[in-house]
Structure 1
Amino acid sequence: MPEKLARLAELHADYDVIFCDVWGVLHNGVEARPFAGEALSAFRRHGGHVILLTNSPRRRASVGEQLDHIGVDPQAYDRIVTSGDVTRDLIKAGSRNIYFIGPDRDLPLLDGLDVDITGLDDAGAVVCTGLYDDEHETPDQYESILRDFRERDLPLICANPDLVVERGERLIPCAGSLAAIYSELGGETKISGKPHRPIYEAALAAAQELHPGIDRQRILAIGDGMPTDVKGARDFGLDLLYVSDGIHAREYTDHAVVDEERLGAFLEQHGARPVRWMQRLR
């Protein structure tokens, strides 16, 4: 069981760059986490650099606008790398005719790409950014159309690998939940976001611009999601600070208090080896 970290400042001397998750660490989809932005701002004032690494299917400018609206301090980060941005390369490399699944607000993901949104009969690929209505729909309602995609051997490009995300006190399904069903059906999925390498390679390229010659051992990943943040950091060879008050909190938290024995068992179950953990970033 890793030690609990009281303040991020205790690690300032050990790292030059932070790759920080956004949803679940900096905000919960409704409001900013108290003190999280200030912790990152203090790291930057100490001379470090912060790259926000998010599975949002939106482009970086849109995510920045969302952070401003929610109240995340713009001094908390240097760059934003999104799953949406790295997924554009997958879309460009695929069929021009795509079937789009997701809310209209995500359509700017396709801006500037030579693609057409078509019906199922003409589609050569599927691009999924999420459910059409994640407030009222569930992933199992999409199984029928996913079977249709599978029968036609259409690749599914998933712009947000997260299975669920926090929205206030609720967990909302994301595009990754549909990609998981499609994979179980035997369909081909293409994913660039966490935990896959393309988004980490994009973040590393940004880190090298900010801190030339950066040693990967001097990069700290911060996140709350086992299949995304934790696995991605482990596979890319990064140290991890685990934030427990995220999507998995129900597994080891009672009345806002973390049961450290249960947390330790949960981390062990998932093969997670964070260097430290915090209930919330501060």
Structure 2
Amino acid sequence: MRIEGLGEIAMNFDAMLIDQFGVIHDGQKLYPHAADVLARLHGLEIPVVVMTNSGKRSAANRERIIRMGIPRAHFVEAASSGEVGQGLIAGKSIFIVGQDGQDYGFESVTISRTTDGADIIVIAGSNAPHTSLDEYRAIFERLRTPAICCNPDKLMLTRHGLLPGPGAIAQIYADMGGQVTWAGKPYRAIYDHALALLGNPKRILCIGDSAEHDVAGGRGAGLSTLLTLTGVSQGLDIATLSPQPDYVMDAFKW
């Protein structure tokens, strides 16, 4: 069903799980109507969890959203795939695949500087365009270490445009026979985490910009879905989307 704005259907739901990148902001700044939508939901007492495929912990994502201009009171929490991943690696020695210079905030782990000394390879981010997929493939060729992908997104929004995300890197390892555990959308664990933060309400709408992650994940969790034609879905033909969402709108607006 095509809608012009979220206000048309908002009162049909008790709570919402809203994607961060590609819906609320583009990685650099808020989309034009994002703050207004979240303010209106807050005014209607419809709680929101910002549910994001991000290799960073929930606190880092929460602070990013606030810095961009969303009041803390307008969302319950940021539920990140990195937070789910943290629960899978505590007490382990890990080698992090990610963006150069980024601190992913993992705790109760030993950071290994080499793959040889690691119990787990944690694929938390992507260093594209500085590191190519072929270079990652070369790194993985000799590995047999289990991996956890803390961000299954295969594309990421950057100032350079859409680039390969950590999910694309992890998929290379999986295709080479590597053992990969996925933490994040569309997999169930992040939905259970987010719903617990909301107190497990009955009528929930998932909003995102990716049919592969947001729509598939929401449907898999038995929830209603809304796709915005922004972010990774900008310019796509609705008829080509799979799976199909319950609702579609051009942008995140009221």
TM interval, shorter chain, is over 0.9
- Normalized against structure 2, the TM-score is what? 0.92
Q: Please report the RMSD computed on the Cα atoms of aligned residues, expressed in angstroms.
A: 1.8
Q: Which has the higher helix share?
A: 1
In structure 2, the residue corresponding to 1:177 is in which secondary structure?
A: helix
Deviation at 1:107, TM superposition (A): 3.1
Q: Which of these residues, 122, 133, 138, is aligned with residue 127 of structure 1?
A: 122
Q: How does 1:17-36 map to 2 (within 5 A)?
A: 17-36=15-34
Residues in 2 aligned to 1:170 and 1:156: alpha-carbon distance in whole angstroms: 27
Q: What letter corresponds to residue 140 of structure 2 in structure 1?
A: L
Q: How does 1:196-235 map to 2 (within 5 A)?
A: 196-208=187-199, 214-215=201-202, 218-235=203-220
- Normalized against structure 1, the TM-score is what? 0.84
Residues 8, 245 of structure 1: alpha-carbon distance in 2 compared, 3 angstrom cutoff? same
Residue aligning to 1:276 = 247
Contact 1:58–1:106 (8 Å) recurs in 2 = no
Residue aligning to 1:244 = 229
Q: How does 1:72-111 map to 2 (within 5 A)?
A: 72-92=70-90, 96-111=92-107
Contact 1:195–1:233 (8 Å) recurs in 2 = yes
Q: Which moved more, 1:228-237 or 1:160-169?
A: 160-169
Q: Residue 57 in 1 paired to residue 55 in 2?
A: yes
| Post-superposition CA distance 1:43-69 (Å, at most 9, x none) | 121121000000111112211222233
Q: Residue 181 in 1 paired to residue 172 in 2?
A: yes
Q: How does 1:132-211 map to 2 (within 5 A)?
A: 133-149=127-143, 153-168=144-159, 170-208=161-199
Larger radius of gyration: 1
In structure 2, the residue corresponding to 1:57 is in which secondary structure?
A: coil
In structure 1, the residue corresponding to 2:217 is in which secondary structure?
A: helix
Runs of 5+ in structure 2 lacking a partner? none
Residues in 1 aligned to 2:160 and 2:5: alpha-carbon distance in whole angstroms: 25
Contact 1:36–1:280 (8 Å) recurs in 2 = no
| Post-superposition CA distance 1:69-124 (Å, at most 9, x none) | 3334444322110111110011127xx2222211355434223x132314222222
Residues in 1 aligned to 2:54 and 2:177: alpha-carbon distance in whole angstroms: 25
Residue aligning to 1:46 = 44
Residue aligning to 1:70 = 68
Q: What letter corresponds to residue 252 of structure 2 in structure 1?
A: L
Residues in 2 aligned to 1:159 and 1:126: alpha-carbon distance in whole angstroms: 10
In structure 2, the residue corresponding to 1:110 is in which secondary structure?
A: coil
Say how many residue pairs are matched: 253
Deviation at 1:159, TM superposition (A): 1.1
Deviation at 1:191, TM superposition (A): 1.4
